[in-house]
C-alpha cells in the first residue's frame, strides 16, 4: 500500500500542467481591420502573450478559434506570438481564441501585448528610404488605432526603435557613441529625421531583429 502511495506521488510530481487563455477575437479583428484599411506594405500589428510575473514570452502549445462548438486552428509561433486570420464573419459570430500555454500552471498569468512593428521580411537590406517609409507607417498605424480624438493625446512620435539581436561589441558601441540608446543598450533610438544613419549600422554589421515605434516619454 505504501509503495502504491509513493508511486502515485511520484506520478503527480512528474506531471506537467498547461494553462489555457481565452481571448475575444473581436480584439484582434479591430487591430487587423486598421491595417486592412491602411493597406501598408512595411508594417504589421503583432500579437504576443507575455507572462506578467516572469516578464517573458509565454510558450504556446496550441491555438484555435472557437465559435460555438466548432474549432479551427490558427497560426502561432512558440515564442508567444499569435497569427490569427482576418474574418469579419468570425467576429460577428462571437469567435474566441483558445490558447494552450506550456507553463506548468493551472491558471495562466499570460497577458496579451499588441505591438506595431516592421514586417520581418523588411529587416533585410535596410536603406534610408525604406526606414523612412517604415517610420511613417508606424506613426500612421498608431494614430489610426488611437482614433479621431485619441491621436491628439498621444506622446510625440520620435522615430523608430531598432532592437538588436545581440549586444554590441565595445568597438561597435564606440563607433556609434553619438547615437541614442535604450538604458540596457539593446535598442538604438533613431529619430525620423536621422534615418540616413542606418547606413552606418549596415557598415558595422549590426543585427536588427525588430523595428518598433519610438514615442517620447517626457
* CA angle, 59 then 64 then 18, to 5°: 40
C-alpha distances (whole Å) from 2 to each of 12, 13, 15, 37, 172 are 15, 17, 20, 66, 64
- Pairwise CA distance, residues 163 & 165, whole Å: 7
Q: Are residues 76 and 30 in the same domain?
A: yes
- Pairwise CA distance, residues 187 & 193, whole Å: 18
pLDDT value, residue 217: 77
Query: In this structure, are residues 166 and 207 in contact, taking their beta carbons and an 8 Å threshold?
Result: yes
Burial class (CB in 10 A: 0-12, 13-18, 19+), 211: buried
- Pairwise CA distance, residues 99 & 65, whole Å: 9
Residue 150 has pLDDT above 50, yes or no: yes
Residue 8 has pLDDT above 80, yes or no: no
Task: Give me the domain span that covers residue 211.
Answer: 120-215
Q: Are residues 132 and 47 in the same domain?
A: no
The number of folded domains in the chain is: 2
Q: Are residues 97 and 43 in the same domain?
A: yes
Q: Are residues 114 and 133 in the same domain?
A: no
pLDDT value, residue 13: 39
Give bridge partners of residue 92 from the DSSP assignment.
none
pLDDT value, residue 16: 52
- Domain boundary residue among 68, 94, 118? 118
Decide: helix, strand or coil at residue 189: strand
Q: Are residues 62 and 154 in the same domain?
A: no
Q: Are residues 210 and 128 in the same domain?
A: yes
The reply to whether 10 falls in a domain is: no
Query: Quick one: average pLDDT of 178-202?
Result: 94
Per-residue pLDDT reduced to its tens digit, 45-65? 999 999 999 899 999 999 999
Q: Are residues 46 and 111 in the same domain?
A: yes
Query: In this structure, are residues 117 and 137 in contact, taking their beta carbons and an 8 Å threshold?
Result: no
Per-residue pLDDT reduced to its tens digit, 71-111? 999 999 988 999 999 999 999 999 999 999 998 888 899 99
The reply to whether 3 falls in a domain is: no
- Pairwise CA distance, residues 151 & 27, whole Å: 19
Q: Are residues 138 and 85 in the same domain?
A: no
Three cell numbers, residue 100: 494552450
Amino acid at each position: 500500500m505504501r509503495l502504491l502511495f509513493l508511486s502515485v506521488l511520484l506520478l503527480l510530481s512528474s506531471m506537467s500542467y498547461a494553462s489555457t487563455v481565452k481571448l475575444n477575437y473581436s480584439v484582434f479583428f479591430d487591430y487587423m481591420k486598421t491595417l486592412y484599411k491602411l493597406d501598408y506594405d512595411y508594417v504589421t500589428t503583432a500579437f504576443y502573450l507575455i507572462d506578467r510575473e516572469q516578464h517573458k514570452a509565454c510558450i504556446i502549445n496550441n491555438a484555435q478559434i472557437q465559435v460555438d462548438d466548432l474549432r479551427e486552428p490558427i497560426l502561432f509561433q512558440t515564442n508567444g506570438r499569435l497569427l490569427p486570420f482576418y474574418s469579419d464573419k468570425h467576429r460577428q459570430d462571437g469567435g474566441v481564441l483558445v490558447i494552450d500555454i506550456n507553463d506548468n500552471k493551472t491558471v495562466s498569468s499570460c497577458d496579451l501585448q499588441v505591438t506595431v512593428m516592421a514586417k520581418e521580411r523588411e529587416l533585410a537590406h535596410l536603406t534610408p528610404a525604406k526606414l523612412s517609409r517604415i517610420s511613417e507607417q508606424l506613426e500612421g498605424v498608431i494614430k489610426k488605432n488611437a482614433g479621431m480624438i485619441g491621436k491628439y493625446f498621444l506622446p510625440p512620435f520620435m522615430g523608430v526603435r531598432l532592437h538588436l539581436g545581440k549586444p554590441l561589441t565595445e568597438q561597435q558601441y564606440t563607433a556609434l557613441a553619438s547615437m541614442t540608446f535604450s538604458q540596457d543598450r539593446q535598442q538604438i533610438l533613431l529619430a525620423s529625421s536621422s534615418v540616413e544613419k542606418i547606413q552606418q549600422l549596415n557598415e558595422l554589421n549590426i543585427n536588427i531583429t525588430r523595428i518598433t515605434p519610438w514615442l517620447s516619454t517626457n
